[in-house]
Amino acid sequence: MSGVMSEWWTYRAEDFLLFSPRVYWRLIELHNQALWPWQLLALLLGVLILASMLRPRPWSDRLIAALLAAAWVFVAWNFLWQHYATINWAMVYVVPLFVLQALLLVGIGTLKGDLSMPARWSIPRILGIALFLHALLLHPLLPAYAGRSISTAEVFGIFPDPLAIATLGMLTAAIPRHRAWPLLVIPGLWCLLSWLTLDTMEVRGAWVPLLAVVAAIAGRLWPRAR
Amino acid sequence: MHSHGKLSRRTVLQGMLLAAAASALPPLDTLAQEEKPGTRPIPSTGERLPAVGLGSWITFNVGNDPVLLAECTAVMEHFFQGGGRMIDSSPMYGSSQATIGHGLRQLGAVDQVFSTDKVWTSDADSGPAQIEESRAEWGVPRFDLLQVHNLVAWQAHLKTLFEMKEAGEVRYVGITTSHGRRHDRFERIMRNEPLDFVQLTYNVVDREAEQRLLPLARERGIGVIVNRPFQQGRLTERLASEPLPAWAEEVGAESWAQFILKFIISHPAVTCAIPATTRVDHVRENMAAIGPPLPDDAMRQRMAAYVRDL
């Protein structure tokens, strides 16, 4: 047992990275090329969700959960399974978790209608909308900050990082908070995995998914207004 | 100037000397097998292998990207042109096996490669199925060498591999480790199992294998494949800012990569080092390192001390 424990201490994050940064970013780039111009539709759906978060309607809460669930299934099948899994066999184990996240969103958010977007401003709502705004508008611009081609932009609804951050944003703003907690687990874990991957590849801005998790947890733990 | 049809005394003497020398030499086919520069014998059979092979960890995991697949094929092409034969992979390495298979098909090089792969699953029963999947990815009729990757479920997998060898479904059997891990267990298996090969990490700074494993490999007649010769590029990157010592030319090293490779393959227990690369210029540089001159033991100590003191 002690041998096993001492052996684990000898591993470093890069020992688990199966591919080079060049291969990873070319995968993103080729995926963008293959899907263009569907990124625009994905962005439009994201804008629809954001508008529904800002001005909730009686029907919009269930719609938000349904759209996000559809995005989790699409990203799991189209990106993780068909493309990312070709260079990262661990994605075979991640895909079922993405499908589970979609089922949770549909079950709790769409069918039961247990997640609501608050109309009043609060710290969790501000943090949640900020996270969603980042996922929708700023995250695709990260390549410019990281010194990469914009063709490696990761767009909401197409790639897992902005989808997970957007979902964290929705769940940070949602009420009641105890209904949101179970749905935070999978997007939170994905963001941590992504942070480790990007950090191991020494990508500038690797901290973004980690910061999203911290912001979501802070928002959910923020004391209720009296 | 001699005219045709006339023999001078010098010519006759030269002919006699050549005839005498030729009678002392082994037949030509044996000569080609035994003395081809840069090759090493596999201890269990005497079959000779070029001392530099090609790894595929990370470098060949390129998915379906056509540009990167073509680059890997070019690396393989220059590897074979440089006299290389052993290519090593594992089911753990993402799409690397499929990339190798793609390259072999493109180059028509199935007969040239010394195919080296691994079995890597904790489920002992699924070992044969995994090996068959790997073989299909490579597109080879059978593997030359199969190894138990990182000693995962090694008892069951070794049993499978020895049975396959007995049935002629694989030519050689081995075990692997890396990063200096599990050397105690590795040593026990080396002592007790009839292995053809072991694969381990060894280079000019990671020298723990010199203490027990390399001498044991010589004693037991086990071939040694050396992985991570450049510490996945970290070692050569670190040394890049340092000048090669002037005496590096005495061992024929024109770069740090050649300096390190010559250090590794000059160890008498080492059969083959398997650097991985995505670059044609690097594979050519690596293959050029297999030729003479190679350092003797005193020079090897000097090389290690020089790098240690940088």
Q: How many domains does chain A have?
A: 1
Interface contacts (A, B; CB < 8 Å) = 47
Would A104 be classed as within a structural domain?
yes
Would B219 be classed as within a structural domain?
yes
Q: Is the pLDDT of residue B29 over 60?
A: no
Would A209 be classed as within a structural domain?
yes
Q: Which H or E run contains B131?
A: helix B127-138
- CA of B144: how far to CAs of B12, B129, B300, in Å? 49, 17, 31
Range of the domain at B164: 49-241+268-290
Structure tokens at B290: 């297999």
B36 falls in which pLDDT band (50, 70, 90)? confident
CB contact under 8 A, B278 and A20: yes
Would A13 be classed as within a structural domain?
no
**What's the pLDDT at A16?**
87
Residue reference for tokens 């080396």? B190
Contacts of A211 (CB under 8 A, 6+ apart): none
pLDDT tens per residue across span A69-113: 999 999 999 999 999 999 999 999 999 999 999 999 999 999 999
How are the residues of chain A apportioned to helix, strand and coil, as percentages rounded to the nearest 5?
75, 0, 25
Residue reference for tokens 């001498």? B215
Percentage of residues of chain B with pLDDT beyond 70: 89
B215 falls in which pLDDT band (50, 70, 90)? very high
Three-class SS state of B87: strand
CB contact under 8 A, B61 and A87: yes
pLDDT tens per residue across span A4-43: 455 667 778 888 899 999 999 999 999 999 999 999 999 9
Diameter of chain A by CA atoms? 59
Would A169 be classed as within a structural domain?
yes
Would A226 be classed as within a structural domain?
no
Structure tokens at B190: 């080396």
The CATH number of the domain holding residue B101 is 3.20.20.100
Q: Is-contact A165 A191, C-beta < 8 A?
A: yes
Using an 8 Å CB-CB cutoff, list chain B residues near A15.
179
Residues β-bridged to residue B198: B175, B224
Would B72 be classed as within a structural domain?
yes
Interface test with B, best of A9, A86, A92 (most B CBs within 10 A): A86
Would A190 be classed as within a structural domain?
yes
Smallest CA-to-CA distance from B38 within B272, B274, B276, B279 is with B272
- Give me the interface pTM, i.e. the ipTM: 0.92
CB contact under 8 A, B94 and A19: yes
Would A95 be classed as within a structural domain?
yes
Would B104 be classed as within a structural domain?
yes
Would B145 be classed as within a structural domain?
yes
Range of the domain at A42: 37-221
Smallest CA-to-CA distance from A79 within A68, A94, A63 is with A94
Q: How many domains does chain B have?
A: 1
Would B300 be classed as within a structural domain?
no
Would B17 be classed as within a structural domain?
no
CB contact under 8 A, B94 and A86: yes
Would A22 be classed as within a structural domain?
no
Smallest CA-to-CA distance from A27 within A76, A82, A100 is with A82
Task: Give the separation between CA B171 and CA B142, rounded to whole angstroms.
Answer: 8
Would B119 be classed as within a structural domain?
yes
Partner A, chain B 51-70, Cβ-Cβ below 8 Å: 58-59, 61-65, 67-68
Task: Give the separation between CA B160 and CA B157, rounded to whole angstroms.
Answer: 5
Would B38 be classed as within a structural domain?
no
Amino acid, res. A88: N
Task: Give the separation between CA A193 and CA A191, rounded to whole angstroms.
Answer: 5
Q: Is-contact A172 A217, C-beta < 8 A?
A: no
Residues β-bridged to residue B257: none
Angle at A53 between CA A51 and CA A55, to 5 degrees: 65
Using an 8 Å CB-CB cutoff, list chain A residues near B179.
10, 15
